Amino acid sequence: MKSDIDYRNKLVLAPMVRVGTLPMRLLALEYGADLVYTEEIIDWKLLRAERHTNEVLGTIDYIDTTDGTVVFRTCPDERGKVVLQIGTASAERAVAVGQMMQNDVAAIDVNMGCPKDFSIKGGMGVALLYDLPRAKAILEGLVQGVRIPVTCKIRVMPDLDETVALAKELQSTGIRAIGVHGRTKTERPRDPVNEDAIARVANALHIPVIANGGSQSITRRHDILRFAQRCSTTSVMVARAAEWNCSVFRADGPLPLDDVIRRYLELSVRYDNSPSNTKYCVQMMLRSLQESPIGRRLLDSQTMQQICDIWEMGEYCRETQLRYHFAGIKGRRACRPRTQSGDGGPVAEGNEPTASKKQCLEESPDSDPEPLNEENVCFIRSNFIDDNSLPKSKLYLHAVRNGLPRAQYEVQQKDKLFRATIRFDGQRYTSSFWEKNKRYAEQAAALVCLLKRGVESRDELIRNGAMLPAKNGPAAAVVEQTGSSKADAAGESETNGEARPMVESC
């Protein structure tokens, strides 16, 4: 039996790349949005993802098997209200995604309005408006192949009659609603939105039209409703105005920006959102304030703790992340590559092999005569004020002062991840943390070497997030006092974790 959504009289968080992740969607719902769209996710990214039930967070996670990142995460609080927007140029792939995701989202939306080169060159986004047979085949395939509602989002054409004719053709596929952005593919947010064009489409169709593109005139909920009236629609998608201050949906008026940011950070920590994504969203909220002292602190931040410290939420962040860690969440520190580059062996500095798809089942036995010293240490660039304070620079000076040969670095690449081993003074040093690039892997290995030789302090590395405390250490005792059971960590949830960072940056 097919499910349904009434798309009339709805206030909607529009699909926005890097913004429409779980914390922002939940924030929009909390402030009064009726439906929330995900950021556009390309079909093949979802098709190579694996579905996991995250018992610690109480979420459903779709995890990229090549690098452990979360492609999509959802939770019960948005059930029945979250719409998955996909980027696709293939009816076959679109249907495969719809059938894979239909139990975890309320509806599927096909992006037919993105004007970016990436989408157009791939036959996706606005390119579909100029390839009507393909666009209709995708929508018809989804309508017939999934149990949940199907919609699409378009831009207006330069010719309004052509826009109306196109919308009617798309309506004939059986979609439940259509979002209309009142700008053409060449127009940008600074250009005025064509409200009359949206109204022409709305008056010509019998399915609901969701007006989009009015953020320049929207600062509060009343403005959203007036935009709908001018566009002859009852529903509106809000993008940039919600990105700037998500409380724009509130019936009682928007909240101060700092209050919105704090609530957004609370949700980001609660649902283990990546620091890079969280940072980006807060930057979008700050807008011109990015040049203020707070904005500069945010720009220099790299971990979730550092971001939260700016808004006096650092302690909440630390305690929550440690509870998750001890509850067994599979975070970024547990991420291991699935495939390996070349023959899987280390590569000398400066020689980065091309990745192959040979399975990496386990590490080869260690037959090297030099002892291997290993710690789980990650490199966080913002912990170091200048190049002279970087771990590799410190290790070089340590060698010079003690009359020792320079350290020799070997780097191993697997999938999109890197790990370095240092040969220094008759021993080897490495971090078990796989870094995102070669430079970071070398710096992490140098930190392990400095730690083992007493140049760096373990307590300091724990304090700045480069290491996690031992489960029976002082920090663990704090967690035990505040409650470290799996149920507490999950927030009384019932739902395997992602490979995102917890205390460190990724």
- Residue in this structure with the two tokens 């990546």, named with its chain if needed: 274
User: Rounded CA gap, 302 and 440, in Å?
Assistant: 13
Give the CB-side neighbour count of residue 461, counting CA atoms within 13 A. 24
Residue 142's nearest CA partner among 106, 104, 105, 110 is 110
- Residue in this structure with the two tokens 């913002």, named with its chain if needed: 382
User: Rounded CA gap, 285 and 265, in Å?
Assistant: 12
Q: Would residue 114 show up in a list of annotated catalytic residues for this protein?
A: yes
**What is the sign of the dihedral through the CA atoms of 25, 26, 27 and 28?**
positive
User: Rounded CA gap, 360 and 392, in Å?
Assistant: 29
User: Rounded CA gap, 7 and 254, in Å?
Assistant: 24
* Residues ≥6 apart with Cβ < 8 Å to 150: 98, 107, 108, 109, 110, 139, 142, 143, 174, 175, 176
Relative to beta strand 150-155, strand 41-42 is unpaired
- CB atoms under 10 Å from CB of 125, counted, come to 27
Longest dimension (CA), the chain: 82
Relative to beta strand 82-87, strand 35-37 is parallel
Helix H or strand E encompassing 160? helix 160-171
User: Rounded CA gap, 267 and 31, in Å?
Assistant: 13
HEC profile of 69-132: CEEEEECHHHCCCEEEEEECCCHHHHHHHHHHHCCCCCEEEEEECCCCHHHHHCCCHHHHHHCH
User: Angle, to 10 degrees, between the axis of helix 275-286 and the axis of helix 257-270?
Assistant: 170
| Distance spanning both ends of the chain, measured CA to CA | 42
HEC profile of 240-300: HHHHHCHHHHCCCCCCCHHHHHHHHHHHHHHCCCCHHHHHHHHHHHHHHHHHCHHHHHHHH
- Residue in this structure with the two tokens 């009434």, named with its chain if needed: 6
User: Rounded CA gap, 116 and 118, in Å?
Assistant: 5
Helix H or strand E encompassing 344? none
Residues assigned a catalytic role: 114
